[in-house]
């Protein structure tokens, strides 16, 4: 039997957890083995992980008992929720609370909770700069995660809090990349309000989480915000122009206009971008590439990410 310590990874078939499972599997002589938790062990992504030697088990964070079973016998766990699957801050909170309590019940020694800021600490519900959403949130997909930090602090196994930045893959999969205008020229349109945007390549999130598990107990209780680089909209467009070999112009969309675009989550994302701008340098300081690099020396900046990924950006 292997003497490796098992890290149970929720979201292993997704972006954050997938990066972690692959980082663990790639370090063949390392101290850990990954256990992927998925609702569908037969999915293509689950089968691909199994081919890397990752143990794959069934688990659903809507079913607490299944998470307790999936955590049993492990050393640690990576906990992430997917707000964008259901758009419910309440449900995300219930799922994360189940993970936290299951980690304690299983006697785990180290948990990473992939959280984000509860923006209401900075922008209380009465502050009209951001419209209140779902009755009691400013940025539902941030607040729902941040409000569970206290559950991880009080009712979970020893926890490190990981705050990811805007995925640069959003330019590929989330419809946020450059689009051709009526004149045929490429436009990168985001609501930044003049602020810089901290961003990261998704594979680096999991690699950094791996570095946190390797560093171990000294990180417990810390909030570790990570980014590959913080850039202005104009700088991102300039770098895209070079990587794509054609000019990309940045347009800073007014926050209200973005909130009014009507796609699911538009108000949530509009508030998120405005929250970035309200916090300004503080938001960037909390996602410091220098800190991330101490856990993940291979961390890519935007040029490096573009060198590997520009060809995947759809130019519609
Ligand atoms: N996009 C961004 O820029 C950004 C930046 C920072 C943070 N985030 C946060 O990242 C989170 C999503 O993480 P991701 O991007 O790594 O996810 P993802 O790539 O969209 O994949 C979702 C993962 O969650 C798992 N999952 C969903 N519901 C589950 C459930 N009920 N039980 C067990 N597993 C479940 C899925 O596993 P199976 O389907 O295999 O069960 C899958 O592995 C979101 O909450 C978002 O707010 C996003």
Please give the distance, rounded to the nearest whole angstrom, from the Cα atom of residue 85 to the centre of ligand 1.
Answer: 8
Q: What is the pLDDT of residues 194-210, one digit of tens each?
A: 999 999 999 999 999 99
Q: Render the burial of 83-117: b for 16+ CB within 10 Å, e for the rest.
A: beeeeebebbbbbbbbbbbbbbbbebebbbbbbbb
Contact 10, 78 (CB under 8 A): yes
User: Domain holding 47: CATH number?
Assistant: 3.40.50.720
Please give the distance, rounded to the nearest whole angstrom, from the Cα atom of residue 49 to the centre of ligand 1.
Answer: 16
Q: Is the CB of 62 under 6 A from ligand 1?
A: yes
Please give the structure tokens belonging to residue 213: 């598990």
Q: Is the CB of 156 under 6 A from ligand 1?
A: no
Instruction: Find the domain containing 169 and state its range.
Output: 5-312
Q: For residues 191 and 272, what is the distance between their CA atoms, to the nearest angstrom? A: 10
Q: Is the CB of 282 under 6 A from ligand 1?
A: no
Please give the distance, rounded to the nearest whole angstrom, from the Cα atom of residue 128 to the centre of ligand 1.
Answer: 30
**Residue 281: which residues within 8 A CB-CB, separation 6 or more?**
none
Question: Model's pTM, two decimal places?
Answer: 0.98
Q: What is the tally of structural domains in the chain?
A: 1
Average pLDDT across each block of 10 residues of the chain; the chain has 316 residues. List them in order.
91 98 97 98 98 98 98 98 96 98 98 98 97 97 98 98 98 93 93 98 98 98 98 98 97 98 97 97 94 97 98 90
Please give the distance, rounded to the nearest whole angstrom, from the Cα atom of residue 251 to the centre of ligand 1.
Answer: 29
Q: For residues 33 and 5, what is the distance between their CA atoms, to the nearest angstrom? A: 6
As beta bridge partners, residue 58 has 38
Pocket test for ligand 1, best of 9, 11, 116, 164 (most atoms within 8 A of CB): 11
Please give the distance, rounded to the nearest whole angstrom, from the Cα atom of residue 287 to the centre of ligand 1.
Answer: 20
Q: What is the pLDDT of residues 255-284, one digit of tens each?
A: 999 999 999 999 999 999 999 999 999 999
- Give the closest residue to 17 by CA, choosing from 220, 205, 276, 148: 205
């Amino acid at each position: 039997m292997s003497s490796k310590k098992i890290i149970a990874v929720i979201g292993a078939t997704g972006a954050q957890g997938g990066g972690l499972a692959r980082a663990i599997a790639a370090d063949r002589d390392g101290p850990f083995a990954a256990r992927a938790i998925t609702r569908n062990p037969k999915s293509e992504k689950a089968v691909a992980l199994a081919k890397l030697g990752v143990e794959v088990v069934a688990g659903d964070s809507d079913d607490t008992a299944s998470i307790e079973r999936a955590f049993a016998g492990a050393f640690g766990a990576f906990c992430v929720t997917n707000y964008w699957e259901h758009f419910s801050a309440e449900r995300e909170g219930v799922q994360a609370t189940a993970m936290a309590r299951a980690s304690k019940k299983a006697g785990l020694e180290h948990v990473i909770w992939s959280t984000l800021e509860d923006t209401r600490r900075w922008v209380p519900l009465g502050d009209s700069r951001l419209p209140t959403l779902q009755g009691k949130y400013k940025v539902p997909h941030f607040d729902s995660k941040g409000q569970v930090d206290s559950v991880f602090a009080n009712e979970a196994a020893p926890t490190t809090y990981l705050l990811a930045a805007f995925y640069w893959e959003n330019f590929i999969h989330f419809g946020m990349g450059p689009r051709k205008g009526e004149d045929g020229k490429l436009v990168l349109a985001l609501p930044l309000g003049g602020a810089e945007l901290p961003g990261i390549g998704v594979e680096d999130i999991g690699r950094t989480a791996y570095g946190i598990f390797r560093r171990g107990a000294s990180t417990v209780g810390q909030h570790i915000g990570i980014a590959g680089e913080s850039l202005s909209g104009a700088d991102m467009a300039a770098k895209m122009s070079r990587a794509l070999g054609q000019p990309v112009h940045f347009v800073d969309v007014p926050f209200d206009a973005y909130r009014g675009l009507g796609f699911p989550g538009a108000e949530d994302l509009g508030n998120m971008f405005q929250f970035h701008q309200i916090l300004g340098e503080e938001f960037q300081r909390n996602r410091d590439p220098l800190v991330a690099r101490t856990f993940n020396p291979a961390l890519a900046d935007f040029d490096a990410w573009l060198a590997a990924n520009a060809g995947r950006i759809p130019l519609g």
